[in-house]
Structure 1
Amino acid sequence: MEFRLLGTVSIDTLSGPLPLGPAKRRSLLAALLLRANTPVSISQLTDALWDDEPPLHARTVIQGHVSRLRALLMGADAEAYEVELTTLGDAYLLRVPESLLDSQRFEELLMLAREQRSATDTVLMLKEALALWQGPPLTGVFAGPPLQAAAHSLEESRLATVEQLAGAYARLGEHNRAAAVLRAEAVAHPMRESLAAALMTALYRSGRQSEALDWFHRTRRLLADELGVDPGRELADAYALILRGEPEADRHPDDVPKAAQLR
């Protein structure tokens, strides 16, 4: 049994995903999983399921969704996995071993990556962490403010991890790989300056200076047109690095010992 937040909110079993039903029930599951092993009050669940004035029967609706979710878990032999949905006064508690929750495994792998001394091992840990993602976080839920904020926080963590992975590749001298990791995200998040700056640096250090400069001017124009602002410190520093020129820019990934290259 696996609980997923990093993509479509789901409960996967050996026989397939459990039929969670409507978005409100999926949202309730997400709210419980985001605070797994911690009591979540009826009030907090109400805020997660309705972004305006909740209906007078909101408590009854929540109780109905909890009852159905509990039945689904029992039918999937959740107790064998030490999973339990319990009532604690005016709150509900979903007990889930951290190893069964993808967002917890993601955080654990990030911690392990930070502890590695070898950039090669860091790359392996970060790639394993990012492989847990199956799409935008909390897909399929009711997008009220609390769950929107949680999804944003999870996505920010993913993007930061992509940047860390590119940094680890850079420490190995694999700047083309760093650029490849960053490009798709920079396209998807064109006004995230940290991504643009990292991509520019990776392109420059892999000998693609014109592409790096093009990316700077593209981002600068976008910031001016969409936000009316100039590039921030990080983007400006990356641009200045390219203009100054560094011997390291001439280093090519093929110059790195083969044993250090990750395939």
Structure 2
Amino acid sequence: MEFRLLGEVGARTDTGPVELGPARQRTVLAALLMTANRPVTVDRLADRVWGDGPPQRATQTLYSYVSRLRRLLPGVITRGQGGGYVLTADESAVDVHRFRQLLGPARQCDDDARAVTLFRQALELWRGEPFPGVDTPWFNATRETLRKEQWAAELDCTDLRLRTGEHTALLTPLSERSAAHPLDERLAAQYMLAAYRCGRQADALAHYRHLRDMLAEELGIDPGPELQRLHRAMLGGPEPVPPPAPNGNSHRHRTQSGRVPLDPPVPTAAGPTGVRRTHRNGPAHRGGTDRPCRRTGRRVRLSRRRQEHARRAPRPPAAYRFPRRPVVRAPGGQQRPAA
């Protein structure tokens, strides 16, 4: 039997899909599947399903849902110790667990082609939004975690595909992703690299300038050192254009002990989506000046380069300036503007 959570909650046997009943009953099944082969108490299960707004007879309602699921899925859900429930299933038969199982070997594999195949198998398990229509704190947090894992897998797979020369096929998808995530520096580096290798150096450099301006205006920071190094290489600097590991952390990054971590390393100066974080006293802010943001109205801190650009901006012609009114000296030594 196979279970699906990366999209509509469902179950399938050799004879076809299983009708799982109403939406709340499918939510109970999803809560048990996320912790398959581990007991879940009734109170914790009720908290996952209803959050802060359980019905008056939540325990009895939960018993009813579980009883129906046990009839639909014989031998899958059993009573656990302490009055809870345990859903017994092969984790490879649950798409969310299968997704995580494939990511580990993909990040450890030394063969780029094999790693790309594993990443694609993992990403193909996604059929849509996890737990659609379910709005409880536990499911919302779990959904957000799964989204981040999917995004990290997509970026890692893209790095490998760029390394194997698939820049032409990736150019259009990377352009669309960059438009959806304009402040993601790792994604920007991937798009710049694909455009550069497709002979579109002007587009790559224009994208860097656009990102640099957005980071300065929105966050008051400059692009990270890896992205700046890639930009200098594309300008024909002394450094060659690097291979696609734009955030400085490839999927086969090794620790000091020589072991390969299962999860992708997170840089200390970058957020989960590749947007660098900064502090008010950090290097990006030293010597800057507070300015109101034109889009949000909040005050941001401009770097020295942005200040220099503002100082060198051309002044409007004299015809468009307000003329100075002459000042005359009144009796008593006081000054006042002329009428």
Matched letter for residue 230 of structure 2:
L
Residue 161 of structure 2 corresponds to 169
Cα deviation digits, residues 115-138 of structure 1 (max 9, x gap): 321111111111111111111222
Equivalent residue number for residue 229 of structure 1: 219
Deviates more, 1:212-221 or 1:115-124: 212-221
8 Å Cα contact 1:8/1:137 also seen in 2? yes
Identify if the C-alpha distance between structure 1 residues 14 and 215 changes in structure 2 by more than 3 Å, giving closer, same or farther: farther
Q: What is the CA-CA distance between 1:20 and the residue it aligns to?
A: 2.2
Does 2:127 match 1:134? yes
* Post-superposition offset of 1:158: 0.9
* Aligned-residue RMSD, C-alpha: 2.7
Deviation at 1:19, TM superposition (A): 2.0
Amino acid at match of 1:85: I
* Identical-residue share of aligned pairs (%): 37
Contact kept in structure 2, 1:32 and 1:93, CA below 8 Å: yes
Aligned to 1:254: none
Q: TM-score, normalised by structure 1?
A: 0.79
Aligned-pair CA distance for 1:92: 1.1
- The question of whether the paired residues in 2 share the 8 Å contact of 1:28 and 1:45 is answered with yes
Match among 220, 238, 242 for residue 231 of structure 2: 242
SS in structure 2 of the partner of residue 156 of structure 1: helix
After TM superposition, the structure 1 = structure 2 runs for residues 114-133 of structure 1, keeping only pairs within 5 Å, are 114-133=107-126
Give the number of aligned pairs: 239
Q: 1:130 is aligned with what amino acid?
A: L
1:178–1:202 Cα contact (<8 Å) kept: yes
CA contact (8 A) 1:162 1:181 kept: no
Higher RCO structure (Cα 8 Å, ≥6 apart):
1
> Letter of the aligned partner of 1:35 in structure 2?
T
The 5 Å alignment of 1:1-263 reads 1-74=1-74, 79=75, 84-88=76-80, 89-140=82-133, 142-219=134-211, 228-230=218-220, 233-234=223-224, 237-245=226-234
Structure whose alpha-carbon radius of gyration is higher = 2
Asked if 2 retains the 8 angstrom alpha-carbon contact of 1:5 and 1:103, the reply is yes
**Whole-Å Cα distance in 1 between the matches of residues 176 and 36 of structure 2?**
32
* TM-score, length basis structure 2: 0.62
CA contact (8 A) 1:37 1:93 kept: yes
Instruction: Give 5+ residue unaligned stretches, structure 1.
Output: 252-263
Q: Distance in 1 between matches of 2:184 and 2:16?
A: 37
For residues 229-263 of structure 1, give each alpha carbon's deviation from its aligned partner in whole angstroms, at most 9, with x where no partner exists: 145654x6425522442585599xxxxxxxxxxxx
- Contact map agreement 2:196 2:204 (CA 8 A) in 1: yes
**In 1: Cα distance, 2:180 partner to 2:227 partner:** 20
Given that 1:169 and 1:177 are in contact with CA atoms closer than 8 Å, whether structure 2 keeps it comes out as no
Structure 1 counterpart of 2:84, one-letter code: A
Listed one character per residue, the Cα deviations across residues 71-99 of structure 1 (whole Å, up to 9, x for unaligned) are: 1112xxxx5xxxx1011133111011012
Q: Distance in 2 between matches of 1:250 and 1:112?
A: 25
Q: Which runs of 4+ in 1 moved over 6 A?
A: none
